[in-house]
Structures are given as structure tokens and as C-alpha cells.
Structure 1
């Protein structure tokens, strides 16, 4: 665990400060492998078992290879190097801060919507959609990878990223739709614990009442694998934080601070939502890292 914490901190710093780091996360090798296998498999929509087997055939070879190599290196220096390389590749695939900043810099609603699509392909134009996009991207790029890295090591981080790649809508040109749908189902299962832990961290790092209320309302009809409770909790938290911030300043000052002088009030509010949502994701990440650090310290003490 101490080495895992060091690897995580190093990867977060590398992703944040290394220019051009996203270029190192090239996944063309996996897309090529998926296209080759997809040309040889016919999976119809009703053949879920076959589609799941194809997903396993796509993901498991690389995951097993990394797991075996991780076991052979046995917690030495090169094992730490392997963990860093795999986690750095899985962390992304693009820089979250840069993509959110591109949406903030957008000068009109169509440009912003196009930028948000890079965060969440299913983003809509309804109020709060920018928060959904930021949180969705943070779950896929940061927290899902981080959770499975902590649970299963480098193989877990790699497996999560490959499943997420397989579930991407762009994969439908390489794989049968049933396979992509099966990968999306696996991804929802893998995301569920990470989304729950993110919601807990949101309650601690943001507004507790807003988050708990949104989580409770979403689960009023029973539990499920839908990630919507996480988005609802984040929207509630951001809404309360912005209301508190705007209580002490008038609308003109809000527009000026947001750098959108002359923009429509709704557009300026969307900019504030994006910034607050990104700040909230950083607070959640730091809270996760603090929890891991507490586990490490307690292990040393005990």
C-alpha cells in the first residue's frame, strides 16, 4: 500500500503537470485488436452470453499478462515502475482539467456543447448538464481506474480502462453492437462501487445535506446499477455552493468574474457550474488520497 500511494501521487502529478502526457496513452493497439477480433465474430443483440465471452477475450489477455508480470516482479523496484506505467496509461485517456477548461473557454452555447461532448458523449443541453459531464468524465478517467488499482493492482487499472474503451460508442465501427452493449453493462458494474464512494466523498467534501438528499431521492424506487445518483448528488452540491457564493455578490459581478461580460446569464451560470464541479472533483480526489494515506499510516503504527 505505501508504494501504491506513491505511484498514485506520481501519476496524478504526471497527468497534471507533464505537457503532452495524453499522447502516451495511445490505445490504437487495443482498437486494432478489437477490430481484428470483431471481424471474426458475429454477435447478435440477443446473444448476451457470446457477447460477454467476446468482451472477456478482448480484455483478459492483456490483464492476465500484466498480472503475471506483476507477480513475477514481486513488489520490487521494477514492480513499482510497472504500476506507474500501467496506471499512467489508464489515467485518462485525456487530461480532465484541459477538457473542462476548453468548455469554460467556449464563447457560445454550441461551442460549449461540442466541448462537453468530449467529457460525456450523452450530454444534453438542460441546466446542470455540464456538472454531469464533468462528474462522468472524472468517474471514467480518475476514480474508476483508481479504485480498481487499489483493489487489484496494475491489472485492475488496466482491466477497467480496457472495458471502458470497449464500451465506448466509437467501438461500434469495430465490434458488433451486442459486444459494446455487453461491455457497457460490465462497466456499469465496475463503476457502481466507485460511484458510491464518490458520493460519500462528495458529502464530506461538499454539502452533506444536498448530497444525502439527492442520493436518497434517487434510490426511492430501489437500488440499481444506474450512475444517475452520483450526477444528482453532484448537481445538488454544486447548486448549493453556487447559491452560497452568489449570496454576497450581484449578477453583474458574477458575470465579470466568470469572464463572460455580455454573455447570457444562463451561459455565465454554466461556466460557474463547470468551474465548481471541477473544483469539487479535485476535492473528492484529495479526500480519497487522504483516506489511502490514513490506511498507510495506520499500518505503520499498528
Structure 2
């Protein structure tokens, strides 16, 4: 039997728990998630493309090169001091790629806002894409935006960290920023943005479906599954496409069923604050379920 801390999945679980704990106990550390260096790299990469005598250099190669560099660092550190530097590197990169904003704090700011103006202002931080239209203070848009933000801030990063380690988490975050954050998209031409957006959708495909399946398990199974079927029947694109809009529909169905069941001692599905509070509760259940699966995989690794 192998020592628990020496199994890769156990190290993954420990790294995730450390990052989650640091977010709750040391929230000020989130200011370290500064990607200003990426803007410098982006401007230099763009100049290389402009100066090239042939076609422009594909911008999607930038996150790919960073992922390869991260993989090489992982491999090198794994050979030093029983892999402890590699584990520390993984924790640091996962923390850096997480968020960057604290979703729990953003939801709490909306729920605790003293008046409607400040509540509406606080709600804008829940948008997964800052370039999207103003988020109305209504139940359905709030729930959809909160789930989309959870996918970008939590589940997408976590999924790729489990699959590829710190390189996966960093690559996911960089693609998300280049494809969707206005600070970066403003400097990228349309054709390059289209490729990056498609890449972002590809990276979101698997975690989105896993979130949907977990949502069915931790909320009202029948309501979620039926909504999933109805969505694809209405859009006629099938399950194996990059149309990920079903997550918003499933989120509304799951949260509404949860609220109507009286979870949290409130049953008003038209109250945006009730729905938002329940959406946060459901997302926490999904995160715990994911961590439980990782823990089971870690325990299974003890016997091999």
C-alpha cells in the first residue's frame, strides 16, 4: 500500500483543499492573481505577427507554449526532494488560476447590499464575461450568471488541474482571459478571437457536462434531466456540440426545484435573492461532490 500523500490524486485533493482554505482564511491574497504580464506578452506576440512576412502567428499558440513550459517545470521539480517542490508549484499555480474573484464573496455582496442601487452594482461582478450586457436583478439571469461564473472560476480550473496538473489550470485560465476578458479581447483581431473563443468552448465542454450531471444528483434529478432533454430537443443540435447554453437552463430548473421543495425555508422562485442564495448552496454541493469523487480516486490509488 502506497503512502496517502504519495498518490497523485491525493496530492491533487490536498492542493485543492489548500487553495480553498486560503481563499476563505486569507481573502486578501486574491490580489496576487495579477495577469498584467499577459498583456505585455500579448502585445509582443501581436507585433511578431504584424512583422511576419507570412500569415499572422496564431495567437492560440501563446497559451499552448505557456502550458508546455509549465509541464517542463512540473517534470523538472518532480525529480527534486521527493517531489515536494512540484507539489508546492502545483498549489501556487492552482491558486493563481482560481477565481480570480471570490464567487462566495460576490454573491454575499449582492445578498447583503443595503439598497437596490448597490445590490444592482454588486450583481455585475457575477458576470462570467465582463463584456456582456448589464446583468438585471432578476432571478433567472442571476442564477445563470452565477453558474457560468462558477464554471469559469471553479469547475473549469479544477477539471483541468485534475487532468493535466498546474499546466492544465494555467492553460484554462489564460485561454479564458484571452477569449473573453475585454482587457485582452480589445487588442485581438476578430479571426483570432474566434479561434480563441472556440478553444475556450472546447475546454469548457467536459466540465460543463460534469457540472450538469452533478447538478442532477445534488438537486431535483427529474427536473434537471427533463430540462436537459427539452433543451436539446428544442435546439436540435445534439449533445456532442459546443452549444453549452443548456447549463443556464439546467441551473434554473435545479434551483427552482430546490426552492420549491422548501430548501432554506423559502419557496418563492420569483425572489432573486432567494434564488441567488440557493444557487450558491447548490454550487457548494456540486463542489463537495467533485471533491468527494477525487477523494475516492485517491483512496483507490492506495491499493495500486
Q: 1:89 to 1:113 in 2, by over 3 A?
A: same
CA change 1:98–1:249 in 2 (3 A) is: closer
Map 1:37-76 onto structure 2 (within 5 A). 37-41=45-49, 53-56=58-61, 58-74=62-78, 76=83
What is the match of residue 258 of structure 1? none
Task: Identify the residue that residue 286 of structure 1 maps to in structure 2.
Answer: 288
Structure 2 CA distance for partners of 1:247 and 1:60, relative to 1, 3 Å = closer
- In the TM superposition, residue 17 of structure 1 has moved relative to its aligned partner by 2.1
Matched, 1:3 2:5: no
* CA drift at 1:287: 0.2
CA distance in 2, matches of 1:117, 1:187: 22
Once the two structures are superposed, residues 3-60 of structure 1 have per-residue CA deviations (whole angstroms, 9 ceiling, x without a partner) of 1111111111112221212101111111221133234546xxxxxx957x2121x212
1:172-227: per-residue Cα shift (whole Å, max 9, x none)?
Answer: 33222332232111111100100000011111111111111111111211232122
Deviation of the 1:228 alpha carbon: 1.4
Alignment deviations for residues 205-254 of structure 1 (CA, whole Å, 9 cap, x no partner)? 11111111111111211232122111111110111111122897687xxx
Q: Does 1:215 align with 2:219?
A: no
1:199 counterpart (189, 196, 212): 212
Between 214-223 and 282-291, the greater mean CA deviation after superposition: 214-223
Unaligned runs of at least 5 residues, structure 1: 43-48, 252-264
Maintained 8 Å contact 1:135/1:231? yes
Tell me the equivalent position of 1:166. Answer: 178
CA contact (8 A) 1:39 1:174 kept: no
Cα–Cα, structure 1 residues 270 and 72, in superposed 2: closer, same or farther, change >3 Å? same
- Between the two structures, name the one with larger relative contact order (CA 8 Å, sep ≥ 6): 2
Q: TM-score, normalised by structure 1?
A: 0.85
- How do 1:133-144 and structure 2 match up within 5 A? 133-144=145-156
Q: TM-score, normalised by structure 2?
A: 0.84
1:116-265 matches, cutoff 5 A: 116-120=123-127, 121=130, 122=132, 124-125=135-136, 127-170=139-182, 171-220=184-233, 221=236, 222-223=238-239, 224-245=241-262
- 1:245-271 alpha-carbon deviations (Å, 9 max, x no partner): 2897687xxxxxxxxxxxxx95xx101
1:85 aligns with 2:77: no
Q: Deviation per CA, 1:108-130, whole angstroms, max 9, x where unpaired?
A: 55544433332223364354000
What is the number of residues matched between the two proteins?
279
User: How many Å apart are 1:169 and its aligned residue?
Assistant: 3.9
Answer yes or no: is the 8 Å Cα contact 1:38–1:176 preserved in 2. no
Partner of 1:257: none
Question: Secondary structure at the residue paired with 1:21?
Answer: helix
Matches within 5 A, 1:2-21: 2-21=10-29
Taking the aligned partners of 1:154 and 1:86, their CA distance within structure 2 comes to: 6
